[in-house]
Amino acid sequence: MHRSPIIAILLLALGCAARAAEPAGEVPAADAAGDVFYPMLGGNPARDGNTGVRFESAKLGLLWSSPRPSVVYQYQRGQTGSGPCLVSVGGRHLLIAGSYDRNVRGYDAFTGEELWQFTTGDAVTATPCYAEVGGEPMLFVASSDYVVYALNPLTGQQTDSRGRQLWRRQIQPWGETRAPAIIGDPLAAEIDGRTVLFFTAWLNDLRAAGNVQESALYAIDAADGSMLWKAAVGTSSATAPALGKVGAEPALFVVHEAGAVHAFSARTGQSLWPRPFVSEDAIRSGVSYAEVGGRGLLYVGSRLFTIFCIDADAGSAAWSMRVGTWVDSTPAIRRGRERTIAVFGDYQQWLHGADALTGEPLWDYRSYGYFASSPTLVDLAGAPAAAAPCLDDHLYIVNSETGQFILRAYTGEFLWSHYQRGDSVWPPAAAARLGGRGILAVAAYDGRLHVFGVNGEDANVGPPQTRIFDALGGRIFGWVFGGLIVAVLAYNMIRIVRRMRSGA
């Protein structure tokens, strides 16, 4: 008669234990106040794009935009700035982002007030990473000046809340190379009771005296900046690491741009696969990890016009899906009501949804520009949604289960007069719930930050107005205009030929 409550309690305990056994980072955990942070690129160490953020309404508006940085450097490979990091510290709701102007800035996440600025020696294009280390809130910034900085997120200074000096770690003496490093976005995770900071760096020096082309994965003790280990990746650049498992071993998965995916032990840096997973073309996508159907799976795009799903234990392809062009977008993994869905973009202006377990195509949505960024997953008034910046200067939000349009907001033109196709992989949007309010932040291509939330200024410009243009990705105008030019030239040539013949 009294067994039912006991059974219910036991089932609840088992359910909690099962959730605790799931890989950390699939959805960021809420803090004691119920806030959900966006502490690093991808929202969590798995880089799967899940934020766990719910908005009460689908009508998001613009809350604020930052000023454009005043210093404009020449166009070069890389981003104009980092993605945002969104956290609450000491009762302050913070948005923190780096920029090509060498600065990292902390803002009030809801008003846009600039709270602090920290200057590094070169561009900051890697998204800052936040973690609590020994009870102390810390921010980690990896700059192209070969230095990783530990900062106080409230002040932007290198002293913590107790006045103690924080560390900085130089990974390569600046005098040994003249080329800026290309840094993979840092990841902080607890490994065997110690908070460890992981990141990749590509050192490129073409001088005869230097001649260094090396990419490596680094592990640093987040408490004091000491180097724990370093693992060589290759000679071309490497993308940001993702954390998952190979068997029972915590593992870091890293993409080598030449076309390979590596697995390293998070404890020792040793390789965990007999050989890397190799694509037949370059890979500029990052990698995301998820447990689907009881299996650890990796998802990565490629320039082979293919998205790969890789078995994390075996290091071999579980399935592959062919699309019409490059995929530099890191797939986001949405756990839906009936199935798990991989969401990613491509350079034919499409957002795609595919079954994450089988690779079955589920839906497509087309814009007017390239998707070189990765989707961010949120919930809008109960509807699962994916937010993705697009190179047509807009942020798109679509239903992540159906591909149905939800919102399109203008975010600003590219900073320079042109961009080279495939030259830069742009940071995703960031989403968090701070002080009980949802917030969505985008680092735009003009170097500015745009922040959206409920009750903001209406910024939804709607889908492209002409359905024919939308269906054909806007290219019909180019075809018609080009055809008219050809027709006019042909007509004039015929007239000239006739005049010449009549004159003869």
Q: Which residue has the higher pLDDT, 92 or 207?
A: 92
pLDDT tops 60 at residue 22: no
Q: What is the pLDDT of residues 130-167, one digit of tens each?
A: 999 999 999 999 999 999 999 999 999 999 999 999 99
**Confidence grade of residue 173 (pLDDT, cut at 50, 70, 90):** confident
Q: How far apart, in whole angstroms, are the C-alpha atoms of residue 438 and residue 453?
A: 6
**Confidence grade of residue 25 (pLDDT, cut at 50, 70, 90):** very low
Tell me what pLDDT residue 180 has: 79
In a domain, 228, yes or no: yes
**Confidence grade of residue 304 (pLDDT, cut at 50, 70, 90):** very high
pLDDT tops 70 at residue 24: no
In a domain, 95, yes or no: yes
CATH code of the domain in which 65 resides: 2.140.10.10
Tell me what pLDDT residue 193 has: 95
pLDDT tops 70 at residue 471: no
Write out the H or E segment, with its range, that includes residue 380: strand 376-380
**Confidence grade of residue 16 (pLDDT, cut at 50, 70, 90):** very low
Of the candidates 449, 366, 367, the residue with the CA atom closest to the CA atom of residue 113: 449
- Are the beta carbons of 447 and 81 closer than 8 angstroms? yes
In a domain, 492, yes or no: no
Mean local confidence (pLDDT), 495-500: 84
Q: How far apart, in whole angstroms, are the C-alpha atoms of residue 188 and residue 49?
A: 16
Q: How far apart, in whole angstroms, are the C-alpha atoms of residue 301 and residue 375?
A: 13
Instruction: For 485, list phi and psi in degrees, rounded to 5.
Output: -60, -45
Q: What is the pLDDT of residues 276-300, one digit of tens each?
A: 999 989 999 999 999 999 999 999 9
In a domain, 15, yes or no: no
**Confidence grade of residue 423 (pLDDT, cut at 50, 70, 90):** low
Tell me what pLDDT residue 397 has: 97
Q: What percent of the chain has pLDDT over 90?
A: 66
> What are the start-end ranges of the H helices in 22-123?
none
pLDDT tops 60 at residue 220: yes
Q: Which amino acid is at 73?
A: Y
Tell me what pLDDT residue 445 has: 82
Tell me what pLDDT residue 488 has: 87
Domain that holds residue 247: 33-473
CA distances to 123, 143, 145, 347 from 169, in Å: 17, 11, 11, 37
Q: How far apart, in whole angstroms, are the C-alpha atoms of residue 50 and residue 24?
A: 12
Q: How far apart, in whole angstroms, are the C-alpha atoms of residue 84 and residue 98?
A: 8
Q: What is the pLDDT of residues 258-281, one digit of tens each?
A: 999 999 999 999 999 999 999 989
Q: Which of 6-10, 62-66, 111-115, 484-488 is the least confident region?
A: 6-10
Which segments of 37-81 are extended strands (E)? 50-55, 60-65
**Confidence grade of residue 55 (pLDDT, cut at 50, 70, 90):** very high
In a domain, 3, yes or no: no
Q: How far apart, in whole angstroms, are the C-alpha atoms of residue 77 and residue 423?
A: 6
In a domain, 137, yes or no: yes
Q: What is the mean pLDDT of the chain?
A: 87
pLDDT tops 80 at residue 66: yes
Q: Which of 104-118, 136-150, 205-219 is the least confident region?
A: 205-219
Please list, in sequence order, all residues whose beta carbon lies within 8 angstroms of the beta carbon of residue 490, skipping any fewer than 6 positions away. Answer: none
Total domains, the chain: 1
**Confidence grade of residue 179 (pLDDT, cut at 50, 70, 90):** confident
Which segments of 421-492 are extended strands (E)? 430-434, 437-443, 449-454, 457-458
pLDDT tops 70 at residue 177: no
Instruction: For 424, list phi and psi in degrees, rounded to 5.
Output: -130, 135
pLDDT tops 70 at residue 176: no
Tokens of 443: 């680092």
pLDDT tops 60 at residue 27: no
CA distances to 37, 104, 139, 265, 322 from 84, in Å: 11, 10, 12, 28, 31
β partners of residue 203: 214
Q: What percent of the chain has pLDDT over 70?
A: 83
pLDDT tops 80 at residue 30: no
Mean local confidence (pLDDT), 309-337: 94
Q: Which of 23-37, 338-352, 447-461 is the least confident region?
A: 23-37
Mean local confidence (pLDDT), 12-22: 36
Mean local confidence (pLDDT), 182-209: 88
In a domain, 129, yes or no: yes
Tell me what pLDDT residue 501 has: 79
Q: How far apart, in whole angstroms, are the C-alpha atoms of residue 141 and residue 104?
A: 8
Tell me what pLDDT residue 79 has: 62
Mean local confidence (pLDDT), 163-181: 81
In a domain, 488, yes or no: no
Predicted TM-score (pTM) of this structure: 0.85
Number of other CB atoms surrounding residue 478 within 10 Å: 11
Question: For the chain, how far is it from start to end, CA to CA, in angstroms?
Answer: 114
